[in-house]
Amino acid sequence: MKDFLNAIDTLTIHFTLAAVLMPLLAFIINISFPTKWNKVSGWVSTIAILTSAVLSAFVFAKVWNSHEVHQSQLWFTIGDTKVQAGILLNNLSVLMLLLVNLIALPVHIYSTAYMKDDESYNRYFAYLSFFCFSMLALVVADNLVLFYIFWELVGFSSYLLIGFWYKRHKAIVANKKAFIMNRIGDMGLLIAIIILFAQYHTFDIAQLFADKGLIFQSIIKNGVWTAPSAHLPAIWQYLACGGIFLGVAAKSAQFPLHTWLPDAMEGPTSISALIHAATMVAAGVFLLGRVYPMFNDAELTILAVIGCFTAFMAATIALTQNDLKRILAYSTISQLGFMIMAMGIGAYASSLFHLVTHAFFKCLLFLVAGIVIHQMAHIRDDNGLDIDPQNIQNMGGLRKKLPFTFAAALVGALALAALPLTSGFLSKDGILVQAFAWTENRNVVLRLVPIFAVLTSWLTVFYIARVIVKVFFGELRVAQLSPGLKIDVSDGGLLYKVPLFLLAACCFFPLFSLNPFSYDASWVYKGFPGISDDTGFAIVLPGVINIGGLLIIYFSYAIYTGKRANPFPQQGALFNLACNEWYFDDIYNKIIVKPLVILSRATFWFDRRVIDGFVSVLARAGIALSKLSSWFDRHIIDGFLNLLVAIVRGIGNFARRFQGGKVQYYLFSMLVVILILFILKTLV
Amino acid sequence: MISLTDFLVVSAVLFCIGLYMVVSKHNAIQILIGIELMLNAAILNLVAFGKYDLFNNAGQMFALFAIVLAAATTAVALAIILNVYRQYKTIDPGKVDQLKD
């Protein structure tokens, strides 16, 4: 029986391995094919991800709420340390495995249509597959070193994809920014991994973070961090947590490392959908989920505060932006803030639940944004206008032109606004209720956290309602400004509609819970250890929040369709603060980027002038020396040899004359010789 | 009275003229003439010194032999010159410097 179970586990591991490697295979196929096979590459990637999705569904069914499956083999040995590499499947990783595939599949299908006119179609799908591979491998890795490798690969492949249109200057700047920001987080994670290894002498995630694992057994007492086999000063534990937080903040775009995400909108919209839903930004929350036992109460509180601050800040910024994708980007930051905050208040299950629901509706919203932007670009190109196709000020009235897209956007927006019957309602209310429950017995400042969370959720309702109303209701503002436009837009074919339909279906409650009003009835929530709430918040709070939400929706509909004057001033300190994204980029530019650039210029100058100068002085001295020795060589040594040669040649020439074949000359020489002999004889 | 010295002086002058001709002339016939002059200078010496041997007249005899032999060598030399001319179309010994095969 045991053997049989083991065999099943091995099969599961093989299926997981296949699911992870399929996109890699697609990547290899796509980069090795010549470009004339262009259109095939989209289907290669899509079929790979489809296979991967089917396999991961099987793995999910086997592992979810069953036992943990962990298999590994020796990877390498350094000294006495044996490092194992393998696959760890528990509820968290199979959920992520399935989620990544389920999000990536519609994105792939959508991309085959969305990118079909791009000249680098082939490269796009190669990168896309590589991105999926990195993320899938990340979620199943059982070892911190392996985890770190795929963590870097996720960052690197997102770098490739954000800078996919590398001929645009802005895309290059954006992907550089994303990469550098992520490097800061990577450094943090690396430091944390090294500290953990120093303390526990293992990289194995299962050993470290299991229920009764090494982390669980170690305590901090009197400034000493004691583990079963070693102890370190407590400061290292704080450093390790700080490092992990940096990693999470960089990947999941949390304050203070969030500024890369809005700029990352320079990539293709389908990539934004993938990055924002399931791959890149989810990695940070996933990491937090993996190493959750490490954080103690104080550190969790910091997490909660930072998450809440990020959520609130990003929501206020989203209120004032006019770029469709930028609003959605800030919305993502805000929702990720919710997840981090949920982790911080101990609502582990709610956080992951929100990650899952958010993945579907945010992916849906981005795909909708892609269609809208494409159609606006159509209008621009057909009429030769000079407008920004992403600016929502130019849109309006698109619900008649794009009915299907409108329906999908509405579903996504309702889920984001967390109205009842949607999946967003379940997960977000879970977080809010538990946030209120958490603040009991805590001080006044921490009581602000849930209040700000509620405020943020109302802000969310407002900004998403603003987007929907501005884009889909009223009249097309471009057409009002310049009448007589030729407007020929449509929802697009099945390749657009099927992914939207799939994702929209996943935005409703039945997929997650049979009871549309109770988050704790949801299977995702039940799959993870959560905190029980026996407070009254669960009954009152959702009602209050949603009534407020509905009022806000009506209010913003009235404002933005022009039925009512806009009561908000469009200038002033607060508006400027939000509109300029809280001046984070300016501050970073002033405080970090500028001094860094100056320092780099200075070192460049130093390098160019001083070091290169020294080197060139050396070079000149060398040249002078070699000229001298060349002169010496030419004139003295060669001169001596030339002299020898001249002497020999002279003798030779002289002697040659006697051998000219001229008889009389021989005779004459003979005569001279005899005469000389006689003369000498006379003289001597 | 003609003394021995006078004979020797004439002989020496003859020899020098012959030697000069042999060394400087560009014509094989003239060189041959030079050789004859030198030979005659030698024969003159033989005859002049022959007065010290009045009984056997060895000097005179030797001169006769030498004259005969000189005639023979001259004939041979002329034959060579003829052949040389046939071969090289010239009898300037300065230009005939290809004695190899």
pLDDT digits (tens, 9 = 90+) for B41-52: 999 999 999 888
In a domain, B60, yes or no: yes
pLDDT of residue A591: 84
pLDDT of residue A639: 92
**What is the rounded distance in angstroms from the CA atom of residue A489 to the CA atom of residue A482?**
17
In a domain, B10, yes or no: yes
Cβ distance A663 to B19 less than 8 Å, yes or no, reads no
User: Which of A660, A661, A667 is the closest to B23 by Cβ?
Assistant: A667
pLDDT of residue A621: 95
| CATH code where residue B58 lies | 1.10.287.3510
Q: What is the mean pLDDT of residues A7-11?
A: 83
Best to test chain B binding among A656, A657, A662, A670 (most B CBs inside 10 Å): A662
When pLDDT is cut at 50, 70 and 90, the band that residue A531 belongs to is low
In a domain, B66, yes or no: yes
**Using beta carbons and an 8 Å cutoff, which residues of A are at the interface with B?**
660-664, 667-668, 671
Nearest to A671 by CA among B3, B19, B47: B19
Q: Percent of chain A scored above 70 by pLDDT?
A: 96
Domain span holding position B38: 4-88
Output phi, psi for A508, to 5 deg: -100, 165
Q: Is the pLDDT of residue A230 over 80?
A: no
Q: Would an 8 Å CB–CB cutoff place B87 in contact with chain A?
A: no
pLDDT of residue A555: 79
Interface of B with A in 59-78 (CB under 8 A): none
Q: Is the pLDDT of residue A573 over 80?
A: no
Cβ distance B97 to A667 less than 8 Å, yes or no, reads no
Enumerate the residues of chain A whose CB falls inside 8 A of the CB of residue B94. 662, 664
pLDDT in tens, A36-89: 556 778 888 888 889 999 998 888 888 887 778 888 888 888 888 888 888 888
- For A659, nearest residue in chain B (alpha carbons): B97
Cβ distance B93 to A671 less than 8 Å, yes or no, reads no
- Residue A23: is the preceding peptide bond cis (ω within 30°)? no
DSSP string, A102-166: HHHHHHHHHHHHHTTT-TTHHHHHHHHHHHHHHHHHHHHB-BHHHHHHHHHHHHHHHHHHHTSST
In a domain, B22, yes or no: yes
The shortest C-alpha distance from A650 to chain B (Å) reads 23
pTM value is 0.76
Q: What is the mean pLDDT of residues A636-644?
A: 93
Q: Is the pLDDT of residue A354 over 70?
A: yes
Q: Would an 8 Å CB–CB cutoff place B93 in contact with chain A?
A: yes
Total number of domains in chain B: 1
Cβ distance B97 to A662 less than 8 Å, yes or no, reads yes
In a domain, B101, yes or no: no
Q: Is the pLDDT of residue B17 over 90?
A: yes
Burial class (CB in 10 A: 0-12, 13-18, 19+), A372: buried
In a domain, B18, yes or no: yes
pLDDT of residue A35: 62
Q: Is the pLDDT of residue A536 over 70?
A: no
Q: What is the mean pLDDT of residues A637-661?
A: 88
pLDDT of residue B15: 93
Enumerate the residues of chain B whose CB falls inside 8 A of the CB of residue A668. 23
- For B26, nearest residue in chain A (alpha carbons): A664
When pLDDT is cut at 50, 70 and 90, the band that residue A626 belongs to is very high
Q: Is the pLDDT of residue B9 over 90?
A: yes
Say if residues A95 and A524 touch (Cβ distance below 8 Å): yes
Q: Percent of chain A scored above 90 by pLDDT?
A: 10
pLDDT of residue A38: 64
Q: Which of the residue ranges A121-135, A514-528, B3-17 has the most confident prediction, judged by mean pLDDT?
A: B3-17
Enumerate the residues of chain B whose CB falls inside 8 A of the CB of residue A661. 97-99
Enumerate the residues of chain B whose CB falls inside 8 A of the CB of residue A671. 19, 23
In a domain, B96, yes or no: no
User: Which of A661, A667, A668 is the closest to B99 by Cβ?
Assistant: A661
In a domain, B95, yes or no: no
Q: Is the pLDDT of residue A451 over 60?
A: yes
Least reliable range by pLDDT among A455-459, A463-467, A486-490? A486-490
User: Which of B19, B31, B97 is the closest to A660 by Cβ?
Assistant: B97
Cβ distance B31 to A664 less than 8 Å, yes or no, reads yes
Helix (H) or strand (E) holding A386: none
Here the ipTM equals 0.83
The two structure tokens encoding residue A26 = 């697609």
The shortest C-alpha distance from B55 to chain A (Å) reads 35
